[in-house]
Amino acid sequence: SFHAAWPDAQVELRDDADRLQAMDALWVMPPGAERDHARGWIAAALARRIDEAIEDDQPFVASALLDQLTWMWQDDPEAAGKGLAPQTDLLLRLRAVFAKSGALEPAVQTLILLAEADPAERTAHLAELDEVLGFADDLASAENGPNAVRAQPIALLEPTTLALPLPWLVDRYLA
């Protein structure tokens, strides 16, 4: 009997389904150069999509894409700095977007990624992170009283700590 067959469509990482499928393939790849290359390829595609979201003034889309970018290094977080180094300029732009919009959670996430991707400015990024967490803590205390101390920083650090369990970040979250 006759079975019709069509060639597979070329993978287009700009397409959400193709990108998510490529990201799923990372989970079964053993650590090494091939996996790092694939992750770099996906990260570059995500960076282009994030850049488009910034240009189109879509901070929520940019935040969701930033989450995808962050989760790609969950199983080897120490490699995140090296892997995200090519995206440092984009992360700096994201920091400005989230600071301007007042979106604290993605701003914290961006500062954490910058601390890893931009080691020359790590101290400045961590100081800015402390400032954002301090502001969030003061705001929570002002709104909810003295029992709310440290509640907001915990809530802001948790999503990134789960997505990217860097030793220094986990220690800070637990403290």
Nearest to 108 by CA among 128, 89, 93: 128
The Cα 80–Cα 60 span in angstroms is: 23
Taking residues 39-53, report their average pLDDT: 93
Is the Cβ–Cβ distance between 168 and 81 less than 8 Å?
Answer: no
pTM for the model stands at 0.87
Separation of alpha carbons 122 and 113, rounded Å:
10
- Dist CA 134 CA 132 (whole Å): 5
Are the C-beta atoms of residues 109 and 118 closer than 8 Å to each other?
no
Give the pLDDT band of residue 159 (cuts 50, 70, 90): very high
Q: Which residues contact 174 (CB under 8 A, 6 or more apart)?
A: none
Predicted pLDDT at 140: 82
d(CA 51, CA 28): 29
Beta strands in 63-152 (DSSP E): none
Band the pLDDT of 5: cuts 50, 70, 90.
Answer: low
Each residue's pLDDT tens digit, 111-150: 999 999 999 999 999 999 999 999 988 888 888 887 777 7
Phi, psi at residue 165, to the nearest 5°?
-75, 70
* Mean pLDDT computed over 58-65: 94
Q: What is the percentage of the chain residues whose pLDDT exceeds 90?
A: 62
What's the angle, vertex CA 170, arms to CA 149 and CA 39, rounded to 5? 130
pLDDT of 4 higher than 70: no
Find the distance separating the first CA and the last CA of the chain, reported in whole Å: 67
Q: How far apart are CA 142 and CA 21, in angstroms?
A: 45
3 state DSSP class of 15: coil
